[in-house]
Amino acid sequence: MGHAVLNQDGLRNSSKVQTTYRLLKQLLRMPLLFASMCLAFVAAPAWPEELSSIEERLVHMEREMQLLKQTNQRLEQELEKLREQMQLQEETSDRTAAGEESDAIRSGRPHDSREETEAIDLSGSRLSMAYKNGFNLTSDDGQYKLRLGGRITGRFKALDSGHPLNDEFSVERARLYSNASLLDYYDLRIQVEFSEDPKLKDGYWDIHHIPWAILRLGQFKTPFTWEYLQSHKYIDFAERSMAVDNMRFKGRDIGVMLHGRFCEDMIQYQLAVLNGTGENRADDNDAKDVAGRLFLRPFRKEGNELFSDLHLGIAATWGDQDTDFEDTDFRTVAGTRFVDFVPDTVHKGDRTRLGTELMWPMGPASIKAEWMQMWLDNFQLGSLKEDLDFYSWYVSGSYLLSGEKKTLGKLVPNRPFNPSEGMWGAWELAARYSLFHSDSDLFKGGMAAGTDQAEAFTIGLNWYLNELLRITLNYEHSEFDDDLVIGGRRLDDEDAFIVQCQLEF
């Protein structure tokens, strides 16, 4: 009997063990439940006496499983809600971005989004942003580029105490520009002046399928005199010389130009056909002006540091003019009129100009010089007609005290201004002599008032705090061959002091 009872108990216990084993085997397939059971065993290594039977243990496990299932369901519901919210936000963002890009295309401006700080989609390409001589957007394939920049130049001018003109603060230049390159072959430039009435300064595009024969169309600088073609940002003084400023009037014009360089940049040329009436003006006759310039670096490939940057140039313009000179005058840098044309003076004939150029940077030093001559045929005042000629020239020198290498473009100081580290930027001394001579027949015939010759001596100091900010101090003394009468006062010379601050970006 004992053996029979024992066998029955054993069988009963064996059946329960098998049931438990099957349950445990199923639990092993559920890592979360199995982990919970392990934690329960670790927390309670010895079962209480009231859970002594295996059935009670299973009931306890089932309750834990039910609680875990309920918790899992709640988590899945919360996760589903989050997925729906994220999808809704993405759809809203896509609609907004699409609307903004559509507006950008309609308005002709690039798409701008605070969320897209690294790149912008454009016709299958990506645009990256960087700063170098302006704010640049460039596509990853390099076929689309956009650069935005500008500058502002403020000036204080003080004249000697006996001068009839006033001391004054002024904003000489306030300009914004954009340069764009499209498909590797087309370049566009637009520059607008805001210092007075807003007006277009540059508006042209270049087509350069042939690198040494680039076609330019629009409004641009007439290729005559290096100092005028050089950006005002990079000249050595607060203003261009009297010799150049009075010889290049109507400096910008509308037309077409072929230009380029070859022989590894040893030779540069420009050949233009223009209206001849100046910027933002329609032509006043059927004739067109022709301008040409040749610029050489003869020793560029010699490897000689002294002569490798020597530049030599020659330029000329010719055209049939129909110009009213009543609003034209020749001035000093200080603004004094030393040739003032009387009303009803007109030029109806050929205008011919010829100029030569020399630019010679040598380490921290430089020498620059230009000579120019202009012939005006058939200059008229009523029945009086004269053929007139004018000539001018200047020579200047500069030296960088802080040791940088002089260039014909932007100067980057070796030690940009930072007083906390003992760095004070770059310092440059400069000096210039300039002269302008007018035909004496202009005054004998009563076509103009003033003097036939003016000359100016300029001393300057440039402080380049960094590559963007420059402060210039100039003293200029001008002398006149004949006394000028301005505001009831007589002048045979003048002194001008100029302090100028220039910021570009």
pLDDT of residue 131: 86
Same domain, 148 and 247: yes
Within 8 A by CB and 6+ apart from 450, the residues are: 330, 337, 338, 339, 340, 438, 443, 480, 482, 484
Same domain, 70 and 145: no
* φ, ψ for residue 468, nearest 5 deg: -105, -30
pLDDT averages per 10-residue partition of the chain, 505 residues: 42 45 48 45 44 64 74 72 64 47 39 41 68 89 92 96 90 96 94 91 96 96 96 96 90 96 93 95 90 95 86 97 88 94 94 97 97 96 94 98 94 96 97 97 92 97 97 98 89 96 96
pLDDT of residue 118: 44
Residue at a domain's end among 48, 82, 116: 82
pLDDT of residue 63: 76
Same domain, 43 and 190: no
Sole residue written with tokens 């940049």? 265
Same domain, 77 and 149: no
Is 160:495 a contact under the CB 8 Å cutoff?
Answer: yes
Q: Give the burial class of 306: count Cβ atoms within 10 A of its Cβ; 0-12 exposed, 13-18 middle, 19 or more buried.
A: exposed
CA-to-CA distance for 90 and 67, rounded, in angstroms?
Answer: 35
pLDDT of residue 191: 97
Asked if residue 179 belongs to a domain, the reply is yes
Asked if residue 122 belongs to a domain, the reply is no
pLDDT of residue 1: 43
Residue at a domain's end among 43, 63, 82: 82
Asked if residue 495 belongs to a domain, the reply is yes
Asked if residue 132 belongs to a domain, the reply is no
Q: What is the CATH number of the domain that holds 321?
A: 2.40.160.10
Same domain, 358 and 478: yes
* φ, ψ for residue 261, nearest 5 deg: -145, 150
Asked if residue 491 belongs to a domain, the reply is yes
Same domain, 396 and 478: yes
Asked if residue 97 belongs to a domain, the reply is no
pLDDT of residue 210: 93
Residue at a domain's end among 47, 82, 117: 82
pTM listed for this prediction: 0.74
Structural domains of the chain, count? 2
Sole residue written with tokens 């000329």? 316
pLDDT of residue 41: 43
Asked if residue 103 belongs to a domain, the reply is no
Tokens matching residue 270: 């420009």
pLDDT of residue 305: 81
pLDDT of residue 302: 80
CA-to-CA distance for 35 and 42, rounded, in angstroms?
Answer: 10
Is 340:438 a contact under the CB 8 Å cutoff?
Answer: no
Same domain, 203 and 61: no
pLDDT of residue 488: 81
Is 169:155 a contact under the CB 8 Å cutoff?
Answer: yes
Is 272:222 a contact under the CB 8 Å cutoff?
Answer: yes
For residue 226, the enclosing domain spans 141-504
Same domain, 33 and 180: no
Sign for the pseudo-dihedral over CA of 94, 96, 98, 100: negative
Asked if residue 254 belongs to a domain, the reply is yes
